[in-house]
Copies of this chain bind each other. A is one copy, B any other.
Amino acid sequence: MGLVNMWSEDFESQIGFLGELGMIDLIQEFLREVNPRYPEGIGDDCAVVDFSGNKNLAVLTTDSVLLGRHFFEDSDPYRVGRKLVNRNLSDVASMGGVPSTALLNLIVSPQLSKQWMIRFIEGVYKAASDVNLKIVGGDLCRGEDRQFIGNMSLVGFAENPVLRKGAVVGDSLYVTGKLGGSILAKHLDFKPRLEEGLWLSKQKEVRSMLDITDGFAKDINSLLTREIGVSINLEVFPISEDCFLLAQESKKSVLEHALTDGEDYELLFILSKDADGIAFHQKWGRIFDLELTKIGVLVKQSGIQDALTGKTIEGFSGYEHF
């Protein structure tokens, strides 16, 4: 894969050649059963979804993939399409939600090759069908030369949505998986932690949760407050193999990568100080084959401290969008 050219010089293999209706037909064709036709389908002004009788709360999210930012001209379009869906699913996972229904927006220049588009939609299909997500509508806009923007908006439902608020001094901080080095592959290939998020949302000891997208050092702040910081045990901080690989090539340390690299898409959550941490870890281990690490404790001092030295960890920040 990745051998499909993003742009085509040959008009008949460009999506522009298909025209708008042709593109919609193509998208419907490759979305297969994740694009139910009637009464929910593409082709009317709105998508129609029956929410009636649902006792859960709806969770809504939206995320995009931009050329040059979330993928590149030589990226495998299948993985790009999958990433677009999975970025949204990761947000749903971090709420403890179950994905339901989505809208797909594409802004594309007519020069985009049809093959690229097909592989992209196949990736969207794969990620959606894996979790029974229905894509019920969307919008297509003609973009400028060599422009491609994929955007998705998603509705899910959650019995007990886990927010970012609720930290209490003495609580523990946990993270799933291993962090850092995502740019080498994981940013395209990550698995959204839906099952884990759903399970965590059912454990009443779990106070708050997010998915790490802009790097641990930045995202952790939205679980903390002005009065409550966290003391991190850097010796157990879970570092991915790709993080070590990346640090060999870059001028930054392994730890800086692990703390600041974006697009980990792992869950970061707070466990109540009243919980039995060992029993919690054991329960997790019986269900999931995924690392879970207690990396710190919430303390009555703002910011991030190194548990070993007691010093504030400064100068690290995650991905800043602007």
Contacts and interface: CB of A to CB of B under 8 A. Distances in A.
Contacts of A66: 107, 141, 143
Interface string A46-84: 111111101111111111101011000000000000000
Contact of A103 (B46, B153, B163): B153
A222 interface: yes
A156 interface: yes
A277 interface: no
A142 B322 CA distance: 6
Interface stretch (A15-23, A235-243, A287-295): A15-23
Given A153-B103, A322-B23, A50 B58 contact: yes
Nearest to A222: B43
A189 interface: no
A246 interface: no
Interface residues of A, number: 65
A26 to B, nearest CB: 12
A59 B41 CA distance: 11
Chain A to chain B: the 6 pairs with minimum beta-carbon distance, closest first: A153-B153, A46-B59, A45-B91, A47-B60, A46-B61, A45-B94
